[in-house]
Each structure stands twice: as C-alpha cells, then as structure tokens.
Amino acid sequence: MGRFIFIVVTIIVLVLGGFFLYKFYFVFGRGVKAGELNYFVEKGYVFKTYEGKLIQSGYKGRTAGTIQSNEFQFSVADERIAQQLMTASGKTVELHYKEYLGALPWRGYSPFIVDSVISVRDAAGRDLP
C-alpha cells in the first residue's frame, strides 16, 4: 500500500511540475514589435520588475465601431536592457520579445518579456546608440 501511494504522489508531482514548466517557461512565441515607447517604469511591492508600454502605429478597436491605438504592454527581466529603455521614452524603438503562457511575479506582470532592443530612433528617424 505504501508503494502505491508513493507512485501516485510521484506521478502527481511530475504532472504538476510539467504543467508549471509548460505554463511559465515554455516560449509560446517570439517576435518583434515597433512603436513609440510611451512609458517604462520599475515597480512592485515585493518583486521589483520593469514594465513598459509601446504605442504602435495604426488604430484598432476592440469592438466594432470604436477606434483605439494599438498598445503593447511588456516586461523586462534583464537589467542591462531596462537601463537602455529608461532613456528611450518618447522615442521609436524596435523590441524583440518572447511570449510565455503565463506571468511570474519575479519576471514581470506581462507574459511578453523583452529580451533585446533592436533599434532606438529619435523623432527625425535617426538611429541612436
């Protein structure tokens, strides 16, 4: 009887562990988004994370007959990338991101995690370092 319980508990732990890994560490998608960096902040009560919002060109409404700007909300886990984006507010940026199926508190509020900055341009379209 003790062996049976051990096997059942082991299977349950493995299934739950597999689900956790799939939900929070499996990269569901990768891509690039470009737009004007609206804001970028560090916030959080326990885990300080970097959060940002990118305003993309064009308009799209969530419901028929409405107009709304396209917004891309994202998180940044890498301190070096965060420092690069802290000085880019109001500039046009191209960001490479990974999309996960869930968000973790120490990684950020968003399932979209920016892992590199491709380019930063000023209002005149000139590339900035």
Show me where the domains of the chain are located. 27-121
Rounded CA-CA distance 25/92 in Å is 29
Q: How far is CA 127 from CA 23, 37, 49, 52, in A?
A: 37, 15, 27, 21
Just give the CATH number of 27-121: 2.40.50.140
More confident residue, 64 or 77: 77
Rounded CA-CA distance 97/31 in Å is 6
Per-residue pLDDT band at 18 (split at 50, 70, 90): very high
Residue 45 backbone zone (phi > 0: left; psi -120 to 50: alpha; other: beta): alpha
pLDDT of residue 19: 94
Degrees, nearest 5: CA angle 85-75-109: 145
Query: Is the pTM of the predicted complex or chain greater than 0.85?
Result: no
pLDDT of residue 121: 87
